A and B are shown apart, each in its own frame.
Chain A
Amino acid sequence: MPSAVQTLDISPVGRVEGDLDVRVNIQDGVVVDAWTQAELFRGFEIILRDKDPQAGLVVTPRACGICGASHLTCAAWALDTAWQTEVPRNAILARNLGQLVESLQSLPRHHYGLFMIDYTHKNYSSSKYYKEAVRRYAPFTGANYEIGVTISGKPVEIYALLGGQWPHSSYMVPGGVMCAPTLTDVTRAWSILEYFRREWMEKIWLGCSLERYEQIKSYDDFMAWLDETPHHANSDLGMFWRMSIDCGMDKYGQGHGRFVSWGYLPHEDKYQKPTIEGRNAAVIMKSGVYDGRSDTFKLMDQNFTREDTAHAWYDEPGGLHPFDRKTVPTQKNAVDMGGKYSWATAVCHDESGRLEAGPLSRQLIAGGKHGESWQHYDPLVLDMYKKLGGASVMLRHFARMHEGVKLYRQAEHALREFRLNDPWYIKPNERDGRGWGATEAIRGALCHWIDVKDGKIKNYQIIAPTTWNVGPRAADGTRGPMEQALIGSPIKDPSDPVEVGHVCRSYDSCLVCTVHAHDAKTGEELARFRTA
């Protein structure tokens, strides 16, 4: 006879995406149902209404201080398409570089500051890697924790050379960028990149050169690399992989098995006259929807985006395209798991349904043969996905970290391609119109829709990666991607379900969890603890 269901309310899991709370039902040591709730509403879309068309450049980076550069690129490209600007190649490179270094910043910060801390949890004290994990990853004092957290500030020094500061510069503007870097800015940026590579990427993260790592094209290559030398096995990547397998992180966190990416990094020669329709064919990292069940790829088109509000705290009809939304918040936001329970909407693809966004999605789509022949192709994560039997906590985090080398190379490319005497900005004519800007923030698909009328913003809508991932159920009852991924997670100790934290954190749900476990039958508190 199955045992009774226990309900755990987790508040908060993290707040970067807007105060994330999670409820899980546990039965026989396994999560059988889950609800994700966003618990903060600031109403940026409402603030932007009737404002200066360029207000998005100031306001939207403040939607998230972790991926502000990604918001800024979306805001700038959205106005570029609305105003029909011309963007000089230097500016495309400078925008890409800003976003790249922000993403590079995020890798060690997330890995050490947020993710690996979980591996020092007492749940894993019987693992043969445990002692070493504590030595490396203990908060504040762990040898690699301190290095990782401190060095994460380096890449964004390059952002400051372009925009004056990170976070929250608005240096990307329709028609280009505000800066005009000099030779010393470029050489200084090179040195910062080199420092980051030498001191962290190669020495600590990979235990080998970038060039050696770049030879890995398949799961078998990766496993061979792992065993090749003790440097590889004992690097932080080697350690992450081996301990993840040892602790079973490859066994849960699956999700819907359907993925989305807007693609990113507009090509400096192919997107100088940006349009909504022309973007897919102009980005270096291609867009796509990957259906893991049928193993098929197609391009992503913004026309298919829908927001379902059946379980979200908005008094609006469901199933609208963002251009048609009004953002009407519910006044009384009572939590009703059968009804409305989140400020996130359930984002859907009109044909493909609920999709997961994030680095794993990007890397799976990078393995597709769709898109343009010159666009980026990388089969590694797709191969792992197939051989390891789908998504997991481990693979999701691996995909995030795997991008580092590629982002690094693209940053080098931008620095190499700057032509210091060419223009950085072409003054546009302001006009009315609709615009759309998209990118991939480090944690996934991000886009802005803008409608400019009579010289002011008529409607501004943002869909962040977290909206895709932590959205509540859709009208038809389909769970959000993270809700789905929580199903099947083994809970070793129901009074201390650290596994819930692993799943959320593999989505880059950034922050520490505090978990309250209640017995669903008696309502008695079982335990209070944190999962980090």
Chain B
Amino acid sequence: MTNLLWLQGGACSGNTMSFLNAEEPSACDLVTDFGINVLWHPSLGLELGENLKKLLNALTSGQMPLDIFVFEGTVVNAPNGTGEWNRFAGRPMKDWVTDLAKVAGYTVAIGDCATYGGIPATAPNPSESQGLQFLKRQQGGYLGTSYRSKAGLPVINIPGCPAHPDWITQIVVAVATGRGAELSLDEFQRPKTFFTSFTQTGCTRNMHFAYKVSATEYGQRKGCLFYDLGCRGPMTHSPCNRILWNRQSSKTRAGMPCMGCTEPEFPFFELAPGTVFKTQTLMGVPKDLPSGVDKAGYVKLTAAAKAASPAWAEEDIFVV
């Protein structure tokens, strides 16, 4: 039995909804096949017949072990650090977070809000929101840089707005099957198994990227979304084109530019006027270049790519 508690702070429930789309394993499989004992979840955790506060107190006092503490949503500190703008079961949610994080075997932040602060922490951050152990790129967050759960790990960050159900369930299964020690995390405490490759890895528009053929407007069945429409696929660590969404597709496959939601800066440029779904350029060259590519390299590459571009690249390739 692995005790799991899932709470939500400044959240939209999107990660819960995403989680409920899971298959292999489904939310029910986690319980029936992997012995996950969902102590409580805002929309699922029911079968205890105990009341929540008593349960929370049993956990914080160590009477009952808390193997996995899952947190969705931001830690709300407003107003003035009191957390009163997000009360839960009679006290500021942030106080529950403090107490539960202390006793948790593993602490898992799910979605951008819990990892980096996400949309609620966008300037001017009216709710004084933080992620559990980051605020945007800055390490520390609500629990502080030195926080370690009982298993000795910092907060396991599963970013994304929302996180993909597989990213969530696979980590939970890894812990439940005793493979927690094999989790290796990157500089943003994201499991490397998911967040080393790029969104672009596996994108069906990759050939258009290579030949610098651009989708100049929406609703076109060809072209890469990087050059004009602000796609962040080449700079974003995510497996969105390897592990498809809802078993079907990804944003870039469907024609929507990647917004880089697994990176701490999401939403990029804080949604300033002129930045949404538009590629930011500096004298014709994109401001943000594919990871690891410098400006001179990029200019050379594009000249060669354009020259080499075949005729089919301008045709409707994802045919009607």
B271 at the interface (CB under 8 A from A): yes
A43 CA to B129 CA, complexed, in Å: 11
Known: A170-B256, A178-B218, A178-B254. A333 touches B42 (CB 8 A): no
Known: A46-B126, A139-B44, A512-B46. A180 touches B221 (CB 8 A): yes
Q: Quick check: A157 and B89 within 8 Å, CB to CB?
A: no
B13 at the interface (CB under 8 A from A): yes
Q: Quick check: A68 and B28 within 8 Å, CB to CB?
A: no
A30 to chain B, nearest CB (A): 23
Query: Which range holds the interface residue count of chain B?
Result: 35 or more
Known: A113-B43, A427-B217. A165 touches B249 (CB 8 A): yes
8 A Cβ contacts from B230-275 to A: 240, 244-257, 259, 267, 270-275
Which residues of chain A come closer than 8 Å to B162, judged between CB atoms? 65, 167-168
8 A Cβ contacts from B94-149 to A: 118-120, 122-127, 129
Q: Quick check: A173 and B218 within 8 Å, CB to CB?
A: yes
Q: Quick check: B256 and A169 within 8 Å, CB to CB?
A: yes
Tell me which of A9, A150, A162, A180 contacts B28 (CB under 8 A). Answer: A150
A177 at the interface (CB under 8 A from B): yes
Which residues of chain B come closer than 8 Å to A161, judged between CB atoms? 248-249, 254
Which residues of chain A come closer than 8 Å to B46, judged between CB atoms? 117, 139, 512, 530, 532
B303 at the interface (CB under 8 A from A): no
Which residues of chain B come closer than 8 Å to A188, judged between CB atoms? 248
A393 CA to B49 CA, complexed, in Å: 23
Which residues of chain B come closer than 8 Å to A50, judged between CB atoms? 273
Q: Quick one: CB contact mask for A152-179 with B, threshold 8 Å, 1 for yes?
A: 1100110111111111111101011111
A104 at the interface (CB under 8 A from B): no
Q: Quick check: B42 and A512 within 8 Å, CB to CB?
A: yes
Known: A516-B53, A528-B54. A62 touches B250 (CB 8 A): no
Which residues of chain B come closer than 8 Å to A515, judged between CB atoms? 51
Which residues of chain B come closer than 8 Å to A177, judged between CB atoms? 218-219
Q: Quick check: B219 and A164 within 8 Å, CB to CB?
A: no
Give the interface centre of B22, B217, B250 by most chain A CB atoms within 10 Å. Answer: B217
Known: A55-B271, A160-B245, A421-B320. A40 touches B251 (CB 8 A): no
B220 at the interface (CB under 8 A from A): yes
B87 at the interface (CB under 8 A from A): yes
Q: Quick check: B78 and A41 within 8 Å, CB to CB?
A: yes
A62 CA to B14 CA, complexed, in Å: 7
8 A Cβ contacts from B57-93 to A: 74, 76, 78-80, 84-90
Which residues of chain B come closer than 8 Å to A63, judged between CB atoms? 12
Q: Quick check: A163 and B127 within 8 Å, CB to CB?
A: no
A293 at the interface (CB under 8 A from B): no
8 A Cβ contacts from A492-532 to B: 510-512, 514-516, 528-530, 532
Q: Quick one: CB contact mask for B16-54 with A, threshold 8 Å, 1 for yes?
A: 111011110011100110000010101111111111111
Q: Quick check: A16 and B13 within 8 Å, CB to CB?
A: yes
Tell me which of B21, B79, B122 contacts A331 (CB under 8 A). Answer: B79
Known: A11-B89, A177-B218. A156 touches B161 (CB 8 A): no
A513: nearest chain-B partner, CB-CB: B52
A59 at the interface (CB under 8 A from B): yes
Which residues of chain B come closer than 8 Å to A156, judged between CB atoms? 21, 246
A21: nearest chain-B partner, CB-CB: B87
Q: Quick check: B219 and A512 within 8 Å, CB to CB?
A: no
A229 at the interface (CB under 8 A from B): no
Q: Quick one: CB contact mask for A125-163 with B, threshold 8 Å, 1 for yes?
A: 000000000000011110001100110110011011111
B319 at the interface (CB under 8 A from A): yes
A54 CA to B267 CA, complexed, in Å: 12
Known: A65-B14, A180-B219. A164 touches B127 (CB 8 A): no
Known: A43-B126, A161-B248, A511-B43. A55 touches B16 (CB 8 A): no
A456 at the interface (CB under 8 A from B): yes
A54: nearest chain-B partner, CB-CB: B276
Q: Quick check: B88 and A529 within 8 Å, CB to CB?
A: no
Which residues of chain A come closer than 8 Å to B319, judged between CB atoms? 182
Q: Quick check: B85 and A333 within 8 Å, CB to CB?
A: yes
A150 CA to B25 CA, complexed, in Å: 10
The 8 closest A-B pairs by CB, nearest first: A65-B14, A43-B126, A424-B219, A164-B251, A425-B219, A165-B245, A528-B51, A160-B246
Measuring CB to CB, which residues of chain B are less than 8 angstroms from any residue of chain A?
8, 10-18, 20-23, 26-28, 31-32, 38, 40, 42-54, 74, 76, 78-80, 84-90, 118-120, 122-127, 129, 161-162, 217-221, 240, 244-257, 259, 267, 270-277, 318-320
Task: Pull 12 A–B residue pairs with CB atoms less than 8 Å apart, ordered by A.
Answer: A16-B42, A46-B126, A55-B271, A138-B47, A146-B26, A149-B26, A150-B26, A156-B21, A165-B250, A178-B218, A179-B219, A331-B79
Measuring CB to CB, which residues of chain A are less than 8 angstroms from any residue of chain B?
9, 11-12, 14-16, 19, 21, 39-44, 46-47, 50-55, 57-59, 62-66, 68, 91, 109, 113-114, 117, 138-141, 145-146, 149-150, 152-153, 156-157, 159-171, 173, 175-180, 182-183, 188, 329, 331-333, 343, 420-421, 423-425, 427, 455-456, 510-512, 514-516, 528-530, 532
Contacts A11-B89, A516-B51 aside, 8 further interface pairs with beta carbons under 8 A come to A16-B13, A51-B270, A54-B276, A64-B12, A150-B28, A173-B218, A179-B255, A332-B84
